[in-house]
Amino acid sequence: MVSADFGGPIYPTFGRLVRVQTALWRAADAQLRHRHDIALADVTALQVVSETGGMRVQDLAATLHITVGGASKVIDRLVASDLVQRTPHPTDRRSSVVKATAAGRKLLQMTSAAVEDVLTERLEGVLGTEGVARLDNLLLTLEGAIEYSSEGTLP
Amino acid sequence: MVSADFGGPIYPTFGRLVRVQTALWRAADAQLRHRHDIALADVTALQVVSETGGMRVQDLAATLHITVGGASKVIDRLVASDLVQRTPHPTDRRSSVVKATAAGRKLLQMTSAAVEDVLTERLEGVLGTEGVARLDNLLLTLEGAIEYSSEGTLP
DNA sequence: GAAGATTGATTCGTCAATCTTC
DNA sequence: GAAGATTGACGAATCAATCTTC
């Protein structure tokens, strides 16, 4: 079944998605910079690294949908702040395995609470837990579909 | 009523929102650069300017949730490409009114079709029209709430 | 003095080139 | 030769400073 266009233009919905995400990001980012002097982008990377317990640079890039070079630089910043460390890959000397340090995990606990506060207010406070659950279901569906369709777009 | 946390952590949902939006943005942006040699950010600004029929720099900034300086530079690029023009504000000589040119409106028609194609495939094709409608409802609610809560966040 | 806008310096991510290792 | 990662140059947005007009 090929997608038909019964629902009217979809650009406005996408515009809303972008604006909502931007506004939420900015709110959380401002809160983190203010309270913990760190950017949300860095905390997000730290979060991913921490919860996987160790990953390669390109795995971080794939998870965040950023480039490998960008991921390398994010890690540079986190290493400089002693929040993660590069450890040698056990079988492949081209790779490093990036792991959260104790300081990184500690900072993550505090920053996660700050982010949770902002998001709970602005997402759950507006949509309610039921609305958040509906949103999450839709996003899960999209996320699953996006993973494989992100390849092979351009010739 | 203060927000309570019955739904579990909300950070993962936000992370999904960011990743889905990023992936969709990148797909549409790549398509536009490839077919029309213009960035999605510029098309988005052109879209907003066009559909309002004329607005000030700070109005564009407020709509897109970007800074005034950033909006000024987006307009610089669009002016350089002859897609919008700055016209004198009728009553306030500090301001300009930014309007889409004929070339801008023409380009917008073509690029909108390209964006619609990408989004129809990746949003509607995955969620269906009903799913898109549900997503749009949730985003509308969030957008309405965000407008007024974006002020007065930091001391 | 405040509001609207522009400009220059900085920051962050992408892209292309490069280096090392497979 | 290909894969993993890093580095420098570039593009785009933020922030602070500045200029003009209210």
C-alpha torsion angle, residues B84, B89, B94, B97 (rounded to 10): -20
* Count of CB pairs separated by less than 8 Å, A with B: 187
Amino acid A56 reads: R
Q: Chain B: give the shortest CA distance to residue A22, in Å.
A: 7
**Closest approach of chain A CAs to the CA of B120, in angstroms?**
7
Percent of chain B with pLDDT over 70: 90
Q: What is the pLDDT of residue A27?
A: 87
Q: Which range has the worst mean pLDDT, B103-107, B134-138, B143-147?
A: B143-147
pLDDT, residue A144, reads: 86
Q: Which residues of A touch B34 (CB under 8 A)?
A: 154
Residue B98 pairs with which residues in a beta bridge? Answer: B55, B86
Radius of gyration in angstroms for the set of CA atoms belonging to chain B, rounded to a whole number = 18
Structure confidence by residue, pLDDT tens digits, B100-110 = 999 999 999 99
Using CA of residue B144, residue B23, residue B71, residue B76, what is the dihedral sign?
negative
- Pairwise CB contact (< 8 Å): B120 & A5: yes
Taking contacts as CB-CB distances below 8 angstroms, the residues of chain B near A138 are 127, 131, 134-135, 138
- CA A70 to C1' D10 (Å) is 14
Q: Which of B14, B115, B129 sits opposite A24 (nearest CB)?
A: B14
Residues of chain A with pLDDT under 50: 1-5, 149-155
Rounded CA separation B45/B63 (Å): 9
pLDDT tens by residue, B59-70: 999 999 899 999
- Note the pLDDT tens digit of each residue in B32-90: 988 898 999 999 999 999 999 999 999 999 999 899 999 999 999 999 999 999 999 99
Q: Which residue is nearest to nucleotide C11 (CA to C1')?
A: A39
**Closest nucleotide to residue B26 (Cα to C1')?**
C14
Residues of A in contact with B115 (CB under 8 A): 11, 14
Contact yes or no for B146 and A20 at CB 8 A: yes
| Sign of the torsion angle spanned by Cα atoms A42, A44, A50, A54 | negative
Using the predicted structure, report yes or no on whether residue B8 has a pLDDT greater than 90. Answer: no
CA distances for B136 relative to A135, B130, B141, B142, angstroms: 10, 10, 9, 10
The answer to whether the Cβ–Cβ distance between B120 and A22 falls below 8 Å is no
Give the model's pLDDT for residue A39: 93
Q: Which residues neighbour A90 within 8 Å (Cβ) at sequence distance 6 or greater?
A: A97
- The pLDDT value given to residue A141: 93
**CB neighbours (10 Å) of residue A42?**
19
Beta bridge partners of B55: B98
The structure tokens 């351009």 sit at A154
Task: Find the helix or strand (DSSP H, E) in which A6 lies.
Answer: none
Interface contact flag, B126 A136, Cβ < 8 Å: no
Q: Minimal Cα distance from B66: which residue of A? A: A22
pLDDT for residue B147 is more than 80: no
**Band of residue B4 on the pLDDT scale cut at 50, 70, 90:** very low
Helix (H) or strand (E) holding B87: strand B84-88
Structure tokens at B7: 């739904």
Which band of pLDDT confidence, cut at 50, 70 and 90, is reported for residue B11? confident
